[in-house]
Amino acid sequence: MSNFIVFKNKIKKFNKAITVSGDKSISIRWVLFSSLAKGVSSAKNLLLSEDVVAAINIIKKLGIKTKLKNNQCRIFGNGIDGYKYRKNIVIDAKNSGTLGRLILGLLINTPFPIKLIGDKSLSKRDFKRVSDPLSKFGAKFKLNNKKYLPLKIWGSPNLKPINFFENKGSAQCKSSVIFGSMRTNGTTFIKAKKSRNHTELLYKFLGLPIKIKNKRTYDEIKVSKINLIKPLNYTIPADLSSSAFFIVLTALSKNSELVIKNVNINPTRIGIIKILKKMGIIIRNKNKRIYKGEVIADLKIKSSKSIKSINCPVKLNSSAIDEFLIIFLVAAKAKGISYFKNLSELNQKESPRLKWGEYILKEMGVKTITTKDSIKIYGNPNLKIDKKIIIKNYLKDH
Ligand code: S3P
């Protein structure tokens, strides 16, 4: 029974300050950048989730020494060409799309084939979206059923820069190509639909060759070969995705207030805050500051007496992509019908999230109309749940 969490009683009103664990996107990127730095990098508050531990295990397989104690980690990088490529290396990205897709960008120069595997959920996800552009650099791939893991990558000593149009709003695809460009002579051009920009911010902070022009819906990015990455000491800020559950808990509770400390509120991640504010929920930033290019703040959330429905602007989709399920719960308690559209990427995640959203809301007695890429949620401010609902985590998803 240990896999079950049972909520029986209503939560009493609260007024508290909490911290949540470190940002997953930045934790994985810190591991990967540090693995190619020259010298010792250290991180505090590293997220110790399975995904990040998988990242550490992969770089160890590639010959990089690491030391992990609680959530502090040191990585002893040997420079940009410091991976020890050997015959028959198998690396395991476990459940992590970010890790699986980003690491491939760094491996396009491997002289021996490397096999990438993942868990059941990751093995159902599209890897062609990164193998296609990485092939243009000159690497070769063999994918399971032309699209999936396990895959094999063969690197090339003659890599060429590429032009890449990223039109899904996927930071994983964008970052994988940025990483690929590190290993090629010449300049790679990326036109990318807006998505989280932690890779670009780390490039800038580390003084690596990147030029970015921000257009209204796209970014134009120019990147070129890297010779040296300096060690990177980083205190990982709290993850807005983990905070999302407590934000929504507070919003839907009565007479409560919550402060969540040191949260990463990078503008490319705050879709949930913008959406909830439009729905009438009070969220304020305190102690806003810049840390290594990222924006950090304490978030103060108040319970809401009345929640408005929303016709969610499509331009917020990418910046709320990991938070939609929890946002749907707010829509379930809103006055009126909420509409979320152009969400085909939601079913490309660790689990088919749009399908799950529909299923969970239905179990709660909430009417929805769902298509393959949209959901209408008929909100009910007086929604009461009077039966036991079991949500099986049949595919792992954060
Ligand atoms: C991530 C990008 C997003 C997100 C994932 C983390 C990242 O995926 O869903 O949890 O760290 O780059 P996509 O880039 O595929 O949308």
Three-class HEC string of the chain: CCCCCCCCCCCCCCEEEECCCECHHHHHHHHHHHHCCEEEEEEECCCCCHHHHHHHHHHHHCCCEEEEECCEEEEEEECCCCCCCCCCEEEECCCCHHHHHHHHHHCCCCCCCEEEECCCCHHHCCCHHHHHHHHHHCCEEEEECCCEEEEEEECCCCCCCCEEEECCCCHHHHHHHHHHHCCCCCEEEEEEECCCCHHHHHHHHCCCCEEEEECCCEEEEEEECCCCCCCCCEECCECHHHHHHHHHHHHHCCCCEEEEEEEECCCCCCHHHHHHHHCCCCEEEEEEEEECCEEEEEEEEECCCCCECCECCHHHCHHHCCCHHHHHHHHHCCEEEEEECCCHHHHHCCCCHHHHHHHHHHHCCCCEEECCCCEEEEECCCCCCCCCCCCCCCCCCC
**Distance from residue 195's CA to the centre of ligand 1 (Å):** 8
Residue 321 Cα: closest atom of ligand 1:
9
Q: Is 196 in the pocket of ligand 1 (CB under 6 A)?
A: yes
Q: Ligand 1, residue 241: give the atom nearest the CA.
A: 10
Q: Kindly report the number of other CB atoms within 10 A of residue 163's CB atom.
A: 11
Q: Is 298 a residue of the active site?
A: no
Ligand 1 centroid distance, CA of 348 (Å)? 10
Tell me, what's the pLDDT at 3?
Answer: 56
pLDDT of residue 393: 67
Q: Is 199 in the pocket of ligand 1 (CB under 6 A)?
A: no
Q: Which residue has the tokens 């890779």?
A: 199
Q: Is the CB of 197 under 6 A from ligand 1?
A: no
User: What Å distances lie between residue 97 and 64, 155, 182, CA to CA?
Assistant: 22, 20, 20
Q: Looking at ligand 1, which residue's alpha carbon is closest to its atom 4?
A: 322
Ligand 1, residue 398: give the atom nearest the CA. 10
pTM attached to this predicted model? 0.96
- The CB of 172 under 6 Å from ligand 1? The reply is yes
Chain-centroid distance of CA 304 in Å reads 28
Six-digit token string for 235 = 């205190």
Atom of ligand 1 at shortest distance to CA of 174? 14
Residue among 51, 96, 104, 170 to mutate when testing ligand 1 (max atoms within 8 A of CB): 170
Widest CA span of the chain, in angstroms? 64
Name the residue at shortest CA distance from atom 15 of ligand 1: 170
Pocket perturbation via mutation, ligand 1, pick of 23, 25, 33, 130 by most ligand atoms within 8 A of CB: 25
Active-site position among 51, 119, 219, 322: 322
Tokens of 387: 């039966």
Q: Is 171 in the pocket of ligand 1 (CB under 6 A)?
A: yes
- Of 171, 299, 311, 164, the C-alpha closest to 242 is 299
Closest C-alpha to 6, from 395, 394, 390: 390
Confidence (pLDDT) at 1? 37
What pLDDT sits at residue 2? 44
Residues of the chain with pLDDT under 50: 1-2
pLDDT at 84: 98
Q: Please name which of 304, 306, 319, 322 lies closest in space to residue 245, comparing C-alpha atoms.
A: 322
Distance CA 198, CA 217 (A): 17
On whether the CB atoms of residues 360 and 325 are closer than 8 A, the answer is: yes
Q: How far is CA 107 from CA 65, 143, 180, 188, 390, in A?
A: 18, 15, 8, 17, 42
Give the closest residue (by CA) to ligand 1 atom 11.
25
Tokens of 378: 């008929």
User: What is the atom index within ligand 1 of the atom nearest the CA of 169?
Assistant: 16
Distance 170 CA to ligand 1 centre (A): 6
The answer to whether the CB of 75 falls within 8 A of the CB of 40 is yes
Which long-range contacts link 91-94 to residues 24+ away (Cβ below 8 Å)? 91/58, 91/61, 91/62, 91/115, 91/116, 91/117, 92/54, 92/57, 92/58, 92/116, 92/117, 92/118, 93/54, 93/58, 93/117, 93/118, 93/122, 93/149, 94/50, 94/51, 94/54, 94/118, 94/119, 94/122
CA of 162 to the centre of ligand 1 (A): 22
Closest CA to 348 of 327, 376, 317: 317
